[in-house]
Chain A
Amino acid sequence: QSVLTQPPSLSAAPGQKVTISCSGSSSNIESNYVSWYHQLPGTAPKLLIYDNNKRPSGIPDRFSGSKSGTSATLGITGLHTGDEADYYCATWDDSLSAVVFGGGTKLTVL
């Protein structure tokens, strides 16, 4: 059972937009920055969003992040088959004194 809750799976058509939610609590998301990652099978995770809504160099603006209260959201527009991956949110938890990850969301583009 993950501290951060994500939908296990989502699907959307090519060209469409999808949002992935990440629900936490006052000790984690509400009081700390959120990061987002995607992971292709057999590869290391890749940073997509940091500090709630910032994109590292090289990440296209099709990816966006937002946070409100105890929840955070990753948005992806203009979906293509290359976006099929597992997506994870992460943040620091003040009560646990630990980084916590969401359980991951498997995105299918079909």
Chain B
Amino acid sequence: EVQVVESGGALVQPGGSLRLTCEAFGFTLSRNYMTWVRQAPGKGLEWVSVIFVGGGTYYADSVKDRFTISRDTYKDTMYLQMNSLRADDTAVYYCARSPQYCGSVSCLDYWGQGTPVTVSS
């Protein structure tokens, strides 16, 4: 069964760092585009970052130079390293898969349950 599972969310102080993890089950993570999307409390969906099959990465302007997406091919795991965290980074963070059958990286067929990140002093 295809599944993605996020972990690592926590309460962190402004300026702090956190690393989120997304584990893939039932498929090979490195053969798919993998994406992080977040949702602030009571708000809509906000795309954060994507890592392509070839390893290329893109980021939303709001997190560029602060967040880094990466993956471990052998562990079928993706990461989101978040530095210089701010209050407006508070959100539930989802990882999601963009499958090979889709024509766009905006197509996300499997989502995790989300992991909450709270940035507050």
> Which label, helix, strand, loop or mixed, suits the secondary structure of the A interface?
strand
Contact residues of B between 45 and 92, Cβ < 8 Å to A:
45-47, 50, 58-61
Interface contact B105-A92, CB-CB below 8 Å: yes
**Is A63 in the interface zone, CB < 8 Å from B?**
no
B45 touches A88 (CB 8 A): yes
| Of B7-15, B16-24, B109-117, the one with at least 4 CB within 8 A of chain A | B109-117
Asked if B44 CB lies within 8 Å of chain A CBs, one says yes
Given A44-B94, A44-B112, A34-B44 contact (CB < 8 Å) = no
Give how many A residues have a beta carbon under 8 Å from the other chain's beta carbons: 28
CA distance A103 to B44 in the complex (A): 6
A73 at the A/B interface (Cβ < 8 Å)? no
Q: Which residues of B contact A2 (CB under 8 A)?
A: 44
B92-121 CB contact bits vs A (8 Å, 1 = yes)? 001000000011111111011110000000
Q: How distant is the Cα of A86 from the Cα of B109 in the complex, in angstroms?
A: 17
- A44: B residues at CB distance < 8 A: 94, 111-114
Please tell me if A74 contacts chain B, counting CB pairs below 8 Å.
no
User: Does A99 lie within 8 Å of B35, measured CB to CB?
Assistant: yes
Residues of A with C-beta under 8 A to B37: 45, 101
> Chain B interface (Cβ within 8 Å of chain A)?
35, 37, 44-47, 50, 58-61, 94, 102-109, 111-114
The 7 tightest CB contacts between A and B, nearest first, are A33-B104, A44-B111, A50-B107, A99-B47, A104-B44, A90-B106, A101-B45
29 contacts between A and B (CB under 8 A): A2-B44, A32-B104, A33-B106, A33-B107, A34-B104, A34-B106, A35-B106, A35-B108, A37-B45, A37-B108, A44-B94, A44-B111, A44-B114, A45-B37, A45-B108, A47-B107, A50-B104, A50-B107, A51-B107, A86-B44, A88-B45, A90-B45, A91-B106, A96-B61, A98-B47, A98-B58, A98-B61, A100-B47, A103-B44
